[in-house]
Amino acid sequence: MLKKINWAEVPVEQVTEKMQRQMIYGDKVMVAKMKFKDGFLVPLHHHENEQVTQVISGTIRFWFGADKEQTMDLGPGDSVVIPSHLPHEALMIGDVEEVDTWSPIRADWLDGTDDYLRK
């Protein structure tokens, strides 16, 4: 179904005191607009979903691989495509605003089983 959506009308979910997100999704793709406070750590994890991260403001330091063997800093205007099943961890340096896109959609984010973020 075709539907016009404005981010200002999308509910904001306060995931933790340092993370909030808004989500728009269809059957095969999900977009999340997120804000993080300085120091928030997304622990090492992986998922079946292919992910594109776009940084709007702040810096995200990513570690990739099971042993975190590759490091990458992304600043405003930078993006990264993360292949499915690639382990990754992310540290927010300064307050960060970013947009993530996934395919397929993140079912764990919709059903509340994304415990790795809520610790």
Residue-level pLDDT at 105:
96
Number of domains in the chain: 1
Residue-level pLDDT at 118:
84
3-class state of residue 60 by DSSP:
strand
Least confident of 5-9, 60-64, 114-118: 114-118
Mean pLDDT of 25-50: 97
Instruction: Give the span between the Cα atoms of 81 and 101, in whole angstroms.
Output: 9
Q: State whether the Cα torsion 15-79-57-72 is positive or negative.
A: positive
- Does residue 6 form part of some domain? no
Q: Residue 119: pLDDT above 80?
A: no
User: Containing domain of residue 87, as a range?
Assistant: 15-111
- Does residue 119 form part of some domain? no
Q: What's the CATH code of the domain at 106?
A: 2.60.120.10
pLDDT above 90 covers a percentage of the chain that reads 92
pLDDT 10s digits, 38-89: 999 999 999 999 999 999 999 999 999 999 999 999 999 999 999 999 999 9
- Does residue 101 form part of some domain? yes
